[in-house]
Amino acid sequence: MPDPTRLSRCVADLARCSRAQAEQLIEGGWVRVDGQVVETPQTMVDAETVEVDEAADPQATEPATLLLHKPAGVSMEEAGALAAPANRLDGDPSGIRLLQRHFAHLQPLMPLDRDASGLVVFSQDPRVARRIKEDGPRLEQEYLVEVKGETGPYTLSRLSRGMVIDGRTLPPCKVSWQNEVRLRFAIKDVHPGQLPRMCAQVGFEVVAIRRLRIGRVGLNKLPVGQWRYLPGDQRF
């Protein structure tokens, strides 16, 4: 009986490639051991059946960014638990292959208040994290805010410019009525709790808040509690 050997060495022999390429094949989810995908090159194999997918591409696996529809009443930490294989959008249009490694070291970006629902971002890609950190305050976000209360003749103009909260003069934003009870905000640099406080200044009580868009990336028809990948060619 042969001695146990590293999976990467076994794959290098099977695929007639370098050890580095073999590791990329394994990390890319292209290798099965006894019918199960194994993504760790250090795995030891002995008498198991090792198979390399015929469509295997030995390119380095890109870090993943997940777009999640956070439910209302859920913290960002709790929302992170929803970023799991079982909650992926059926028919995710990104075309990205699901890998277990995509769920390690996910960083929450552009946080959303617990009481709000809508688009949140979890990423393991340092390039995305840097972009959000540097450009986040300048990225326009779109919100749908359901309110109760009586509207006045200057409600929209008061909401859109000149408001002051905690001594901070808010930058101008775009506000419109979607219907009789829902306001649509296109706004930048939103601080925690800001939208309810803005609405309170014009006599509105906020019933619900949903974030629809961050920059050029929209929630689209993503159901509550589900996620999809951000395609590699899409930017915030």
Token match 């370098």: residue? Answer: 18
Taking the domain 140-214, which CATH number applies? Answer: 3.30.70.1560
Domain range list for the chain: 5-52, 65-136+217-229, 140-214
- What digits encode the pLDDT tens for the residues 217-230? 999 999 999 999 99
Is the CA virtual torsion 220, 179, 155, 71 positive or negative?
negative
Instruction: State both tokens at 211.
Output: 């974030």
Here the tokens at position 64 are 């993943």
CATH number for the region 5-52 comes to: 3.10.290.10
Contacts of 124 (CB under 8 A, 6+ apart): 63, 64, 65, 102, 104, 105, 106, 107
- Alpha-carbon gap, residue 6 to 14, rounded angstroms: 13
Q: Which residues of the chain have pLDDT under 70?
A: 1-2, 58, 60
Dist. CA 94–CA 110, nearest whole Å? 21
Per-residue pLDDT tens over the stretch 132-168: 999 999 999 999 999 999 988 899 999 999 899 999 9
> Are domains 65-136+217-229 and 140-214 of this chain identical in fold?
yes
Element (H, E) at 147: strand 140-148
